[in-house]
Structure 1
Amino acid sequence: MSFIRPRRRHYGGIDISPMMDMTFILLIFFIVTSTFTRETGIDVSKPKANTVKELSKESILIGITRQGTVHINETQVNLSSLQTILRQMMNEAPDRPVIIVSDRDAPSGKIVDVLDECNLAHVRKVSISASKE
């Protein structure tokens, strides 16, 4: 007695597991290689300058709005507390530069006040941010 085995049909299919592996690898690659820029958290239109240089990413950003409010790391601060905050930050890393990101229409007196507070906090490197023409 002989038995006839039924033939198995093999249906062609696409194996998507290698494609999923590549998708996750590309996702990890783009996350790791992307750069994140720190901003002051306020909307300013910077003045233009011909001599613009890139500074360290480890800098302290102080923002001054058109209305004259002062911000550090997206938090509004009073001018009287600015010196104390800067001293604390400078104690952690004494060589960190401070970048003042001021609006083009900000009162110049407020910029001078912020520069004075930076000087009183013994900040060694102070720069004013500008966009390149």
Structure 2
Amino acid sequence: MSRRKRKHQDDGDKAEIDLTPMLDVVFIMLIFFIVTASFVKESTLNVNVPENSNAPPPPPSDNKTILIVVDSANDVFIDGRRVDIRSVRSLIAQKAAANPGGGVVVRAHENSNTETYIKIADASRDASVFDISLVPYKDTRR
């Protein structure tokens, strides 16, 4: 009987906890969180801006362009007047009717939103003016 008791005590000393199932659960949770994580991809608009040159401006032509200025606060100005973005299409249509063949030049501040330029470009296309140029500028007064 003493032999049996002794054998039973030796088995108790060798008992260990198996951590494999716990590690499996941790790895499954890790994979789940990696797969479900949302990654934000920022969209950008690449614009090639020409370098400043000392070349003389082109000679004036009969086709007058429509100048639209967008400042850093995304305010839109046509002929020096601040206008609402919703009225840009009708103003472009009026000016295009007076000067057919002219284009639209958007002079946008470098801190203005791309969304404002896109709204102006869409309004210009809706007014059947497809010659649209973007001229970025930096405010040097500050």
TM-score (normalised: structure 1): 0.56
Q: CA RMSD in A?
A: 2.6
**Superposition pairs of residues 1-133 of structure 1, within 5 angstroms:** 49-50=49-50, 58-130=64-136
Alpha-carbon distance in 2 for matches of 1:59, 1:100: 10
Conserved in 2, the CA contact under 8 Å of 1:66 and 1:104?
yes
What secondary structure, in the 3-state scheme, does the structure 2 residue paired with 1:129 have?
strand
Which whole-Å CA distance do the structure 2 matches of 1:112 and 1:105 have between them? Answer: 15
Give, in whole Å, the separation in 2 of the partners of 1:102 and 1:48.
14
Q: Is the 8 A contact 2:110 2:136 kept in 1?
A: no
* Cα drift, residue 114 of structure 1: 0.8
Equivalent position amino acid for 1:85 in 2: L
Q: Give CA-to-partner distance per residue, 1:86-111, whole Å, 9 cap, x none.
A: 11111111111110000001011111
**Aligned positions, number:** 85
Structure ranking higher on relative contact order (CA contacts 8 Å, 6+ apart): 1
Point out where structure 2 has 5 or more consecutive residues left out of the alignment.
Answer: 1-46, 138-142
Query: Alignment identity in percent?
Result: 16
| Bigger Rg over Cα | 2
Unaligned 5+ runs, structure 1 = 1-46
More helix by share: 2
Cα 1:49–1:82 shift into 2, 3 Å: same
